[in-house]
Amino acid sequence: MSHKPSTSPGYGPPKLQIPCLPILGPYDWGKLLKDIYDSIVAEATAADLYYRLLREAPDQLHREFIEHAYHDELKHLEAFSRLYTFFTGQKPHYTFSPVQYRSYGQGLLLSLESELEAAEFYHEVILSSTDPLVRDTFFLAMGDELEHATRFGVLYAMTKGSPLFYNLSEPQSQGETK
Ligand SMILES: [Fe+2]
Ligand SMILES: [Fe+2]
């Protein structure tokens, strides 16, 4: 009995163009600019979320870990903004929707998930470009996001099961303007 290979989209072999670079295939110019712009929005959104979470941090370890991520996101925001300006000759104009969460613990979980998503996204951009400036800028951020994911994972594990997780407060709808 023979087995046909799966033809379901998403379940086939990864499309890697090894030994050519970039190994995920090159982005077109428009997609790269959109990815840089989306990264700017993501960094601003994360910085705003961490700024609000910091005010609810229950102890020094939580404060230290969240503050570390907050300052890194501001650094990434600056780096991606400079990259955007370098390529377009214009400063990025953007808005973002503040992340809403119903408890400190849920805020930590949303942070962990967004860090993992960002790291995967940046990873994909790196493997889709041969431009050293693009690759280095996204690599700078990707490494930090993986570190943040570890930190938020620890804080979330410490918080799960505590009143900080289950004591649902009003939705946090107000973003901070810095
Ligand atoms: Fe970041
Ligand atoms: Fe991060």
The DSSP-derived string for 105-119 is HHHHHHHHHHHHHHH
If you measure from the C-alpha of residue 5 to the centroid of ligand 1, how many angstroms do you get, rounded to a whole number? Answer: 39
C-alpha to C-alpha distance for 75 and 62, rounded to whole angstroms: 20
Checking if the pLDDT of 135 tops 80, the result is yes
Whole-model pTM? 0.87
Tell me the domains of the chain and their CATH numbers.
37-166 (1.20.1260.10)
The rounded percent of the chain whose pLDDT value lies above 90 is 80
If you measure from the C-alpha of residue 151 to the centroid of ligand 2, how many angstroms do you get, rounded to a whole number? Answer: 10
The mean pLDDT of 143-163, rounded to a whole number, is: 95
If you measure from the C-alpha of residue 63 to the centroid of ligand 2, how many angstroms do you get, rounded to a whole number? Answer: 15
| Proximal ligand: closest to the CA of 43 | 1
| pLDDT tens digits for range 54-78 | 999 999 999 999 999 999 999 999 9
If you measure from the C-alpha of residue 46 to the centroid of ligand 2, how many angstroms do you get, rounded to a whole number? Answer: 7
| pLDDT tens digits for range 160-177 | 888 877 665 545 444 443
pLDDT band at 113 (very low <50, low <70, confident <90, very high): very high
If you measure from the C-alpha of residue 43 to the centroid of ligand 2, how many angstroms do you get, rounded to a whole number? Answer: 7
Checking if the pLDDT of 147 tops 90, the result is yes
pLDDT of 169 reads: 53
pLDDT of 54 reads: 98
C-alpha to C-alpha distance for 56 and 70, rounded to whole angstroms: 14
If you measure from the C-alpha of residue 121 to the centroid of ligand 2, how many angstroms do you get, rounded to a whole number? Answer: 12
Q: Which of 112, 92, 115, 102 is nearest to 42 (CA)?
A: 115
The mean pLDDT of 100-106, rounded to a whole number, is: 96
C-alpha to C-alpha distance for 89 and 56, rounded to whole angstroms: 39
| Proximal ligand: closest to the CA of 50 | 2
pLDDT of 95 reads: 98
User: How does the average pLDDT of the chain come out, rounded?
Assistant: 90
If you measure from the C-alpha of residue 143 to the centroid of ligand 2, how many angstroms do you get, rounded to a whole number? Answer: 9
The mean pLDDT of 18-47, rounded to a whole number, is: 96
If you measure from the C-alpha of residue 72 to the centroid of ligand 1, how many angstroms do you get, rounded to a whole number? Answer: 6
